[in-house]
Amino acid sequence: MIEVNHSKIKETNRKKIIKLLLEKNEVTKLDISRSLDISITTVSTNITELKKEGIVSDVRSLESTGGRKAMALKINENCRFALGIALTPRHVKLSLINLKKEVIGDIRIRHNKKDIESIIAIAKENINKILNNKEISIDKLLGIGISIPGTVDSEEGIIKNCYLLGAENYNLKKSFEEFNTTIYIDNEANLSAYYEFLNKKDILSNLLYVSITDGLGLGIIIDGKIYRGSNNAAGEMGHIKIIIGGKSCKCGSQGCLESYTSKNVLIEDFNEISNEKLNDIEEFISLFEKGDKTTKEVLERYFNILGIGIANLTMLLDPSSVVLGGDINSLLKENIDVLRSIVYKDNLFTNEENCKIDVTEFKESYLLGAAMVPLEEFLN
Ligand SMILES: [Zn+2]
């Protein structure tokens, strides 16, 4: 037992030192010892190890007022990396970040593959590409985080069900075994919620992230942790029934919230009432921005339903923050006041003061969230 505790303390000290070095540009061993209240001997041992691993290096010797000159140390932010990958029905996206969370490489591949194996093949090819582009060897990778728009067992690394990618009970972790690095898998909305939370963790501990993409997902952060439920199926907000015997849903059921609020609904509804036919959401957004009346009409109905869905959520979980994001952020931003008024209207249980409703500031928080998982694991 004592052995275990020792190695745990050692690990904690090491992480604390790395975190401090990431916060400050230059520090001396004495600074570290004082800031973290760790003995100078322990600091020295750790620094020697970190230097050997190429994580820390000397910057310059500082002027001293007597005695030995102190050495200023800095972290080499480009000595380790974390990779985030998002597998979506139309894209494979990769983002490579360094220790300072800076994105240093990005790849986006558009595809029309319908089976999970082909999509994975694209991802694998591009893992090699992004690392080769930056001349990074795989052993400098802290891990790979993968975002999936479906239900996953993140502990086992299994996709439980993802009809958007045509995968069921699929061992994704195993597919990436050849890279010999730790693979983390999570649901898209969970990762978005996680990323959003990491950026706000000083001010709140509960947060809901509503993800509007080809589906409608929900990421739940309770007391700073992703809430997954007992079968990893928490947050299936898209399949809450809102109309008995309503529209057919991709899940096989009817009347699900998702069949009224995924981004594709905007295109379908528009095409139903207009002579003009749209193919993708970008066309819809551009028409709306030009002041097109039909898009306005479609959006009004859309936000009414989405607003009711979010109002129901606030009643269930009483969050302090609901963040919306995904693929229609510009539409959400322009209509956020409409949405807020629907959520708070006739809502006895919460209000603008207690529950903030905002649109994310990040374009692809699921992708950044995926990259952050291995990095956070390394640091915390
Ligand atoms: Zn459904």
What SS3 class is residue 333?
A: helix
101 CA → ligand 1 middle, Å: 36
CA of 358 to the centre of ligand 1 (A): 25
More confidently predicted of 349 and 270: 270
Residue 42 binned pLDDT confidence (cut-offs 50, 70, 90): very high
Q: Please tell me whether residue 217 adopts helix, strand or coil conformation.
A: strand
In terms of C-beta density within 10 A (0-12 exposed, 13-18 middle, 19 or more buried), how is residue 36 classed? middle
Q: Is 351 exposed, middle or buried (0-12, 13-18, 19+ CB in 10 A)?
A: exposed
Note whether 372 and 101 are within 8 A (CB): yes
Q: In what helix (H) or strand (E) does residue 154 lie, and over which residues does it extend?
A: none
pLDDT band at 66 (very low <50, low <70, confident <90, very high): low
What is the whole-number distance in angstroms between the Cα of residue 186 and the centre of ligand 1?
Answer: 20
pLDDT score, position 348: 84
pLDDT in tens, 75-129: 999 999 999 999 999 899 999 999 999 999 999 999 999 999 999 999 999 999 9
Instruction: Report how far ligand 1's centroid is from the alpha carbon of 324 (Å).
Output: 20
Report how far ligand 1's centroid is from the alpha carbon of 151 (Å).
Answer: 13
Residue 259 near residue 249 (C-beta atoms within 8 A): yes
> Residue 205 burial (CB < 10 Å; 0-12/13-18/19+)?
middle
C-alpha closest to that of 73 among 29, 23, 22: 29
Q: Region 44-49: what's the mean pLDDT?
A: 95
Classify burial at 145, counting beta carbons within 10 Å of its beta carbon; exposed 0-12, middle 13-18, buried 19 or more: buried
Give pLDDT tens digits for 276-316: 999 989 999 999 999 999 999 999 999 999 999 999 999 99
Residue 330 CA to ligand 1 center (angstroms) comes to 26
Distance in Å, CA 249 to ligand 1 centroid: 5
Ligand 1 centroid from CA 256, angstroms: 5
Q: How far is the CA of 165 from the centre of ligand 1 (A)?
A: 15
Q: How far is the CA of 325 from the centre of ligand 1 (A)?
A: 20
Is the pLDDT assigned to residue 177 strictly greater than 90? yes
Domains of the chain (ranges plus CATH)?
2-75 (1.10.10.10), 79-193+366-379 (3.30.420.40), 200-361 (3.30.420.40)
Tokens of 72: 């200023």
Q: What's the gap in Å between 359 CA and the centre of ligand 1? A: 24
